[in-house]
Each structure stands twice: as structure tokens, then as C-alpha cells.
């Protein structure tokens, strides 16, 4: 299967035509990660936007924990409103579990952040496409209409995520 056909499966590019996907195909790099391997760590330099070709990636953030916080975590986990768990690397909050066709790292790129704000780890063996930040910026300069389509997708997915987080917060606050 051609890379253009593979890119058609990516949510981020669902509004792009074959010619636009061919432009993207020239820019993406394919990377592999074994189960449990870090894709990136919090505070590491931002490399670009990651698109999952296969496998699963989990986005988490380390939490500083004291006794009061441990009690809050217990309550939150009982209410099933968000996942916080103890790992060999400390307490972590899971922000997202992402699968084939989904993407991550886009906020760091769109916001122009130099470093990531969370960790990304391969839950399974993963194949990932990477669009480096400078290539993403080149698309913006050379193909503004194409970038508009991509940014609309990012906005739509981000909006959906925010509505989900709002429901989770409401669930935490009033317990339903």
C-alpha cells in the first residue's frame, strides 16, 4: 500500500485530497517503537506531530503526590472519572490512549512550544509517522489552504476532547 493510501487513514488528513496527501507523503518519516518504549518525555524538545500508523500510545503526566492527593486519587478512581495510577516511575495521570489513525504532539507544534508538556509511551509495538515541526511550518507557508484543512481538523478534535474533559470534571465535582 502506498504512503498516500496509508495517510488517508489518518484523522488529521481526512480533509485532504490525493495531491495534498502526496505533499505530506514527501515530508513524513516513519518510526518504530517497541512496547513500553518512550516516544517522548515531558520537557524533551518538541520534534513534531506524531501520527499512529499501528499500535497504541498513551499520553501521561507525572503527578507530585502527598497523602491528601493520594486520598483524592482514590475518590477519583472510585468515581471512574479519570485514570491515575502508580507506576514504577511515580504517580501518573493518563490523559489519552490513542490508536491507529489518531495523532498527538500537535499542541506543542501549533503553540510553538520548544518542549513537550507530557510523556508519550508505546503501549504496544507501534509504527508512527512523524511530521517534523519545520515541515509543518513549511506546509503553512507554501500551502495555506491545505493547512487550513489540517487546522480545522485539529480544532474539531480539540473541541471534542474539551467537551469530554468538561464532562469528566463535572462528574468529579458532583459525583455522577
Q: Which domain holds residue 83?
A: 3-174
pTM of the model: 0.83
**Residue 136: other Cβ atoms inside 10 A:** 18
Local confidence pLDDT in tens for the 176 residues of the chain: 799 999 999 999 999 999 999 999 999 999 999 999 999 999 999 999 999 999 999 998 887 766 556 656 565 554 454 666 666 667 777 888 999 999 999 988 989 999 999 999 999 999 999 999 999 999 999 999 999 999 999 999 988 878 877 776 666 666 55
- CATH number of the domain that 11 lies in? 2.60.120.10
Compute CA distances 86 → 38, 72, 102, 130, 165, whole Å.
17, 14, 26, 30, 22
Domain count across the chain? 1
Amino acid at each position: 500500500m502506498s504512503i498516500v493510501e496509508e495517510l488517508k487513514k489518518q484523522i488529521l488528513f481526512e480533509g485532504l485530497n490525493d495531491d495534498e496527501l502526496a505533499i505530506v507523503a514527501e515530508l513524513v518519516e516513519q518510526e518504530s517503537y517497541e512496547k513500553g518504549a518512550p516516544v517522548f518525555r515531558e520537557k524533551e524538545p518538541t520534534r513534531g506531530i506524531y501520527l499512529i500508523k499501528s499500535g497504541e500510545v498513551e499520553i501521561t503526566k507525572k503527578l507530585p503526590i502527598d497523602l491528601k492527593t493520594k486520598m483524592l486519587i482514590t475518590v477519583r478512581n472510585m468515581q471512574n472519572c479519570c485514570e491515575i495510577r502508580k507506576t514504577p516511575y511515580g504517580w501518573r495521570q493518563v490523559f489519552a490512549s490513542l490508536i491507529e489513525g489518531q495523532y498527538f504532539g500537535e499542541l506543542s507544534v501549533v503553540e510553538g512550544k520548544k518542549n513537550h508538556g507530557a510523556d508519550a509511551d508505546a503501549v504496544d509495538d507501534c509504527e508512527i509517522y512523524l511530521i517534523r515541526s519545520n515541515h509543518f511550518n513549511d506546509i503553512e507557508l507554501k500551502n495555506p489552504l491545505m493547512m487550513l484543512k489540517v487546522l480545522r481538523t485539529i480544532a474539531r478534535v480539540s473541541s471534542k476532547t474539551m467537551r469530554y474533559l468538561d464532562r469528566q470534571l463535572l462528574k468529579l465535582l458532583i459525583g455522577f
